[in-house]
Amino acid sequence: MTHEPNLGRTRPIGGHLRATVRSLLGARSTPEVTVVPEEQGYVDHVLDLPISLELYRELAQLARRVGVTKGFKAVIDTFKVPRGETPAGFRLEFVLAEDAVARADLVRDIGYDKNGQKRATEVLFSADSANPYEVAPIAGMLANLTCNPGIVYDLFINNPKANLGKKFKTRDEVMLELGQILGPGVDISVELNNPFEQSEAKILEEASKFREMLTPYRVVIKVPHTGPVNAENVGQLLSGDKRLHRRFDAGSTSDMLRGHNLALLLREHGFRVNFTLMFEPYQSAMALQAKPYFINSFVRHRLAQSAAIYELVEAYRSSRDSQQLVKLRDFLVDKDYLSPDDRNIDLAAVLEFAERVLRYRKYRPGADGLDAVRHNLRLLRNTNLPDTRLIICSMEGETMYPDIDLLLGEPEFADMADRLIITAEPGYLAKFTSCNQVVSYQRRFMNAAQGQR
pLDDT in tens, 380-415: 999 999 999 999 999 989 999 999 999 999 999 999
Q: Do residues 192 and 223 touch, judged by C-beta distance below 8 A? A: yes
Predicted pLDDT of residue 220: 97
Q: How confident is the model at residue 305 (pLDDT cuts 50, 70, 90)?
A: very high
CB of 198 within 8 A of CB of 167?
no
Give the C-alpha separation, 104 to 111, whole Å: 18
Contact 283, 256 (CB under 8 A): no
Element (H, E) at 101: strand 101-108
Average pLDDT for the chain = 92
Give all domains of the chain, ordered by start, each with its CATH number.
Answer: 19-116 (no CATH), 124-302+366-431 (3.20.20.70), 303-361 (no CATH)
Residue 282: which region, alpha, beta or left (left: phi > 0; alpha: psi -120 to 50)? alpha
Strands 144-147 and 124-128: parallel
Q: Angle at the Cα of 175 (from 172 to 205), degrees rounded to 5?
A: 55
Name the E strands within 219-292.
Answer: 219-224, 272-276
Q: Are strands 101-108 and 187-191 parallel, antiparallel or unpaired?
A: unpaired
**Other residues' Cβ atoms within 10 Å of the Cβ of residue 15:** 7
**Which pLDDT score, from 0 to 100, does residue 452 have?**
64
The DSSP bridge pattern shows strands 90-96 and 50-51 to be: unpaired
Helix and strand totals (H; E) in the chain:
18, 14
pLDDT of residue 354: 98
C-alpha–C-alpha distance, residues 396 and 6, integer Å: 39
Residues contacting 32, CB < 8 A, separation 6+: 25
How far apart are the C-alpha atoms of 322 and 14, rounded to whole Å? 71
**CA-closest candidate to residue 392, choices 314, 255, 279, 256:** 279
pTM given for the model: 0.90
Distance CA 312, CA 335 (A): 14
Residue 90's alpha-carbon distances to 58, 78, 114, in angstroms, are 22, 13, 7
The pLDDT value recorded for residue 11 is: 53
Task: Say if residue 149 is preceded by a cis peptide, omega within 30 of 0.
Answer: no
What whole-number percentage of the chain has pLDDT above 90?
85
Above pLDDT 70, what percent of the chain?
95
Please report the pLDDT score of residue 168 as a whole number.
94
Taking the C-alpha atoms of residue 411 and residue 306, their distance in angstroms, rounded to an integer, is 27
